[in-house]
Amino acid sequence: MFPNFSMLTKLEFQPLETVACDALIVVGFETTAPSVSAVAELYESKEFAGKPLDMALLHRPAGLQAQRLLLIGGGKPDKFNAASLRRAAGAALRHLKPKSFRNIAMLLDPAFSGPEHVAAAVEGAILGDFESDALKSDKKDVKTVDRFTVVVPAGDPGLEAARRRGEILAESQNFSRTMVNEPANRMTPTVLASRAETMAGEFGLGCEILDRDRMKQLGMGSLLGVAMGSAEPPAMIILRYRPEAGAAQTAHLGLVGKGVTFDSGGLSIKPADGMEKMKYDMAGGAAMIGAMRAIAQLKPAIPVTALIPAVENMTGSRAQRPGDIVTSLSGKTIEVLNTDAEGRLILADALTYAKRLGCSHLVDAATLTGAIVVALGHVHVGLFASDDALRDKVMAAADAEGEKMWQMPLDDEYKDYLKSAFADLPNIGGRWGGAITAATFLKEFADGSPWVHLDIAGTAWLDDAKPFMAKGPSGVAVRTLVRLATAW
């Protein structure tokens, strides 16, 4: 099912006193109280100290038209930024939504009311409004927010473009989250391809779906080997954005996302505990589809092509076995030592095909390894790069969007872990450096092109709800990828 983006967002220029709404959100800092007489007493009594995401709700505050005032902590002003504001907006909306407030506004401090702050406030509210319980049938008294208004005392009318950009980004991120949230019986490779095709038609993107026969003709043996054990047919989803004629085209960006709609591990089967979460193994592919949804609307100056290899990794009687050797689209042979290292096998053929389609710069995103979770926990995306310039662009985009990424090593010495006596390379290394050897494997198929790999295994799914985001899919990397394209 498609998400229902029913909450209206608006931007208004007016003073605090005239904002009429059910609840007005104001950020209060540790060192300075907002210039609202109604909250001075809270600071004086130490009931509110401005710590990050602390909250205090005032009923019918004197001198205001708002029915309620929610004071939310911003921490220290010198550490407050657009990412902080995004979290504050999401946390505030999630706090107010169950209380049946349908018309909510957020007043931005004059020091934090630039374009990036307006966009962040809208993003935070829309992302906070997302719920993961769409398939529950016994929901009662469902609370909804009809309108979220960003209020600045004064400002440039050009801020409206920032509001719209924030809306596009957050709705596209929620579009990605909705797909990841679907159980595997409802989100097969065929359904994922259909969702992408429908979205492409709605927003004017080119779309091509390669079926099993076409992939076999091309020679995508690495991808097709993973798909052998499932009754669900695989699909290679290709989405194309092209800028208007005459736009400078100094690069062709290729976005490649892992689309394993369910990963049992294959014959190298996973433990039962936690396997139900493996519906999220297509989060990288969903991120690329969501990013393309936003790119189509924001219209960067460079062409962008997204490739999402979509498969199920199952244990059927035709499933590939440990020890099988497959021939990839590049011609390299791969010894499959572990069928649960399937993501790199499908990405290998997708990266090769992206180069054949003319992509000059490659970025892939994948829930690729448990090893990256051991290394970085659930805080940072693991970033691997073959090219410093592209790495810097991705890191700058991530910083601007508040998505934490950490560069991991990719030294040539790690190739020593990937040796096979029977094929050009195995699909796993030894025990050590698992996230790095997985990236080293993929680098072979980027084959000299500037390339960045994002291992999102630890960040694409929230096991517990955050104050600003529901439990479940996070939609990580969507905003970074869009910023990368639009800021090229």
The residues, ordered by sequence, that sit 6+ positions from 85 with a Cβ below 8 Å of its Cβ are 27, 74, 108, 112, 117, 120, 121, 124
Longest Cα pair distance anywhere in the chain, in angstroms?
A: 79
Mean pLDDT of all residues in 404-419: 97
Q: Provide mean pLDDT across the span 320-338.
A: 98
Mean pLDDT within 25-44: 86
Coil, strand or helix: which one is 390?
A: helix
Rounded Cα distance between 360 and 253, Å, is: 6
Q: Which CATH architecture has domain 8-153?
A: 3-Layer(aba) Sandwich (3.40)
Burial class of 360 by CB neighbour count within 10 A (0 to 12, 13 to 18, 19+): middle
State the CATH architecture for 170-486.
Answer: 3-Layer(aba) Sandwich (3.40)
pLDDT of amino acid 248: 63
pLDDT of 4 strictly over 60 = no
Q: What is the pLDDT of residues 191-238, one digit of tens each?
A: 999 999 999 999 999 999 999 999 999 999 999 999 999 999 999 999
| Residue scoring higher pLDDT (316 or 5) | 316
Q: Which residue would you say has higher pLDDT here, 6 or 445?
A: 445
> Does 270 qualify as catalytic in the annotation?
yes
- Would you place residue 140 in the very low, low, confident or very high pLDDT band (cuts 50, 70, 90)? confident
Banded model confidence at residue 39, pLDDT cuts 50, 70, 90 = confident
Percent of the chain with pLDDT over 70: 98
Q: Does 46 have pLDDT greater than 90? A: no
Q: Which letter, b or e, does each residue of 95-115 get, where b requires 16 or more Cβ atoms within 10 Å of its Cβ? A: bbbeeebebbbbbbbeebbbb
Q: Tokens representing 313?
A: 């990794």
- What pLDDT is recorded for position 5? 65
Percent of the chain exceeding pLDDT 90 equals: 90
Question: Rounded distance, CA 133 to CA 444, Å?
Answer: 41
Decide if 443 is catalytic: no
Identify the bridge partners of residue 72 per DSSP, sorted by sequence position.
Answer: 27, 55
pLDDT at 3: 53
Listed in order, the ranges of the chain carrying CATH 3.40.630.10 are 170-486
Give residue-wise pLDDT tens across range 368-399. Answer: 999 999 999 999 999 999 999 999 999 999 99
pLDDT confidence of 1, banded at 50, 70, 90?
Answer: very low
Q: Where in the chain is the domain with CATH 3.40.220.10?
A: 8-153
Catalytic residue among 165, 344, 393, 479: 344
Mean of all residue pLDDT scores within the chain: 95
Residue among 270, 332, 415, 471 flagged as catalytic? 270
d(CA 162, CA 159): 5
Percentages (nearest 5) of helix, strand, coil residues in the chain = 40, 20, 40
The per-residue pLDDT for 247 is 64
